[in-house]
Structure 1
Amino acid sequence: MAARIAGPAIAQTSSHPYRRLLWHPAAWGRLDDWRRNQADLPGRAEAIRRPVEIGLKAKV
Structure 2
Amino acid sequence: MPLTWTVFASELQRDWARTDTVPGLAQLLVEHMGNVGTSFTWEQQLLATPPAK
Instruction: Provide TM-score, normalisation by structure 1.
Output: 0.29
- More helix as a share of residues: 2
> Could you say which structure has the larger radius of gyration?
1
- More strand as a share of residues: 1
Instruction: Provide TM-score, normalisation by structure 2.
Output: 0.32
